[in-house]
Amino acid sequence: MLLSLGFLTLCFSVEAQQTEYRNIYPDTWVGTDALGRTMPDFTQAGAVKTDQRRVVGIFYLAWHTQGHGDEKYGPYEGDVTKILQKDPQARLDANHPFWNNPPYPWYHWGEPEMGYFLNQDEYVVRKDMSMLADAGVDVLVMDVTNAVRYWDEWDFTFGVMQKMQAEGSKVPKFCFWAFNGPVITVVQDLYDRIYKEDKFRNLWFYWDGKPLMLYNSRPEFDANRGGITHKNPHYDPDAKTNPMNPRYNDPDYCEEYYQDYTRAVKEFFTLRTMWWGYYEWGGERFVGTEDNWSFGYCLSDPRVQALKPEELLSTHKGTREQAAVTPAQHPVVTNHYANIGVGKSWSRETGQPALNEYDLPVPTYVPWLGKTVENPEGYGIYFQERWDEALAANPQFLYINDWNEWTAGKGNVTTPWLGRNNSFIFVDQYNSEFNRCVHPMKGGYTDNYYMQMAQNIRKYKGIRPLPENKGYHQISIDGTFDDWNALTNEYRDTRGDTFHRDALGYGGIRYVNDSGRNDIITSKVAVDEQNIYFWVETAESLSPHTAPHWMLLFLDADTNTETGWFGYDFLINYEVKDDKVTTLMKYDGEKWGKAADISYRYTENQMELAIPRNLLQLDRDNFVFDFKWSDNVGKLVDPISFCLHGDTAPNRRFNYRFTWKR
């Protein structure tokens, strides 16, 4: 009895270790994106919603495999956006030299923020998981839609996710989505090699009490053909002929080709079909039907367009279950109603705007903004319309397609495409108008789609309230930190996000980033009659203050992004005088100028500083400001600089909000 109790306790603590994480409260962070859209606050998003399950999944691709890193594909210039920028005529000519020199078997529609990365790049996996968890994404839907199993990339990705979990970070769970090709064999393979082996168990995503598997319930149809065969890896001829064989006549063993999913698969998983939201698929009604999830909606089809948002939802046992949100559809005709594609600037009301010489949309009206803009592809017109409809329909599972597809496949056939007759087509992704990636891009509209996703997930799930701060606290700036223990409100950042990059990219590019220096993990703020005090803690001892861009503290003192440098009115530590005196700088509208010397101390992994309230114009009995720490940011160009170098707390362009009452 004692032994078994001990065993139970052990099991419990292992389980607890797997599920506990250091909560960094990303839903309380504030932020303004490049278009001026702000993160919904508590009054806008409301409290965390508990009326039903609210799960967010995103399509995650592992097809950026190591083979693409071969130097024979270098220098890598297979970037459609750059090719069309160099010569827009290339869009009309399949054999234009820019398409073929050197010959790539693939292209990127544009350049990712982290460069032409491969999946086996720990820096990228860490940034991905951190960004997704911060935004509120719960589950990665791993691509097996074309029957290719990316074992090495999955092992790598899930391995890094487990490392991050062990460091105390929250990461999404995963499930798989198989569809085309020998899908029964593929699902069996995933079951045999991952689930049956208990691999990465603490990352499995459960739905209705079992691991979720997205599949094809009618495996006789796929996107390309019928008559598919599904080879049985457990085929045992003896089981077909020998009545003494314990598996005699068992179709899971005695047939060389599966006719159906095995009993093990049917019992082990919660199964749902997922495919493109066609009105009909394989001769039956598809979108909005029972147990048929959509990865996006075929809104170029008037029959799909005529459905109400709630009719697009997939049901399970009659209850609303899943809805899809995508930044766009496809650049190809997906039916015979249109041939201009459905890009990021398509809306129900105005359809797809005309395209300019770069195959990008002409100035277009943005409904959520109420005006016409240049470069509408950065404004998430289609994306927001889908979000608004999905939020109104209120699903239990909200699926986003996709995170990191990037790859664009060129087919040299002459056919109507993008409203003209063209000598080639791209089917899924093409340029910054025609792609479905939420992953930030380099240049262009940078992280607009990431921020838009994070904003809308808040509306879907609700958020926790901001911590309240009250009264005065006695703090002395002396390099001992016991006086901070009385303050319990912590403003936290990811631990481990100073990871150094040294990895292979497409075409043999070597990506190196060793800017991670001080790993900021916690900060606190205190107030007394005279001063506002800041305390910050790093994972390891602080580096010396003499190096540039050391532990910068940015303040948006009026919580107005229209004033200051991208909103920040004050900057501390840009010029550190010695180990006791540093500088407060103020932004004058054009540059940072010195405002005052202030007192600070640091010892080991902690630092504290004091700023007179009157200098910040925060001398009322209650006030609010936003703040951000940043170490080794490199050149301060814009808020994207925070995303590329060193560590920032909180992550990316987010800020902490401090509210105080006397």
Rounded to whole angstroms, the Cα distance separating 106 from 312 reads 33
Site size for Ca ion (CB under 5 A): 14
Tokens for 589? 């509208």
| Residue 567 binding Ca ion, by CB under 5 A | yes
Backbone conformation region of residue 469, classed left if phi is above 0, alpha if psi is from -120 to 50, else beta: beta
Q: Which of 340, 647, 652, 660 binds Ca ion (CB under 5 A)?
A: 647
Q: What is the spatial distance between Cα 292 and Cα 388, in angstroms, rounded to a whole number?
A: 21
Q: How far is the CB of 281 from Ca ion (least distance, A)?
A: 43
Q: Which residues contact 379 (CB under 8 A, 6 or more apart)?
A: 35, 344, 345, 366, 368, 369, 373, 445, 448
Output the smallest distance, CB 234 to Ca ion, in A.
Answer: 47
SS3 string, 546-562, reads: CCCCCCEEEEECCCCCC
> Residue 497 interacts with Ca ion (CB under 5 A)?
yes
Q: Which of 415, 560, 617, 622 binds Ca ion (CB under 5 A)?
A: 560
Q: Which one of the spans 33-41, 229-237, 266-274, 495-503 is the region binding Ca ion (CB under 5 A)? A: 495-503
**Is 321 or 497 the residue whose CB approaches Ca ion more closely?**
497
- Beta carbon of residue 646, minimum distance to Ca ion (angstroms, whole number): 9
Query: d(Cα 662, Cα 657) in Å, to the nearest integer?
Result: 17
Select from 96-104, 166-174, 341-349, 514-522 the region that touches Ca ion (CB under 5 A).
514-522
Instruction: Choose the binding region for Ca ion from 119-127, 217-225, 417-425, 485-493 (rule: CB under 5 A).
Output: 485-493
Closest to Ca ion by CB, 376 or 564: 564
**Closest CB to Ca ion among 405 and 537?**
537
Smallest distance from the beta carbon of 345 to Ca ion, in angstroms? 31
In DSSP terms, 510 is beta-bridged to 504
Task: Report whether 176 contacts 144 (CB < 8 A).
Answer: yes
Within 295-314, the residues that bind Ca ion by CB under 5 A are none
DSSP state, 445?
T
Give least dist CB 118 to Ca ion, A.
23
Of 29 and 253, which has the nearer Cβ to Ca ion? 29
The Cα–Cα gap between 253 and 263 comes to 11
Provide the token pair at 499.
């990871």
Q: Would you count residue 569 as binding Ca ion (CB under 5 A)? A: yes
Q: Stretches 24-32, 107-115, 399-407, 494-502: which one binds Ca ion (CB under 5 A)?
A: 494-502
CB 587, min distance to Ca ion, A: 8
Of 493, 537, 608, 626, which one interacts with Ca ion (CB under 5 A)? Answer: 493
Q: Least distance (Å) from Ca ion to the CB of residue 503?
A: 20
CA distance 157 to 119: 7
Among 294, 314, 448, 651, binds Ca ion (CB under 5 A): 651
Query: Does residue 617 bind Ca ion (CB under 5 A)?
Result: no
User: What is the C-alpha separation between 90 and 99, in angstroms, rounded?
Assistant: 8
**Least distance from C-beta 443 to Ca ion, angstroms?**
23
Residue 184 or 525 with smaller CB distance to Ca ion: 525
Q: Among residues 83, 520, 607, 611, which is the contact residue for Ca ion, using CB under 5 A?
A: 520
How far is Cα 417 from Cα 332, in angstroms, rounded to an integer? Answer: 6
492: nearest Cα among 530, 528, 464, 454: 464
Q: Nearest distance from residue 22's CB to Ca ion, in Å?
A: 11
- Segment interacting with Ca ion, rule: CB under 5 A, options 243-251, 375-383, 478-486, 518-526: 518-526
**Residue (44 or 560) nearer to Ca ion, CB:** 560
Strands (E), 336-434: 364-366, 371-373, 397-400, 407-408, 410-411, 415-417, 420-422, 425-426
Report yes or no: 286 and 179 within 8 Å, Cβ to Cβ.
no
Binds Ca ion (CB under 5 A): choice among 65, 563, 605, 659: 563
Whether the ω angle into residue 75 lies within 30 degrees of 0, i.e. cis, is: yes
In the list 558, 608, 626, 631, the residue contacting Ca ion (rule: CB under 5 A) is 558
Q: Could you tell me where the beta strands, DSSP code E, fall in 172-310? A: 173-178, 206-207, 210-215, 270-277, 280-281, 284-285, 292-297
Regarding 608 and contact with Ca ion (CB under 5 A), the answer is no
Residue 564 binding Ca ion, by CB under 5 A: yes
Judged by the rule CB under 5 A, the positions of this chain that interact with Ca ion are 493-494, 497, 519-520, 556, 558, 560, 563-564, 567, 569, 647, 651
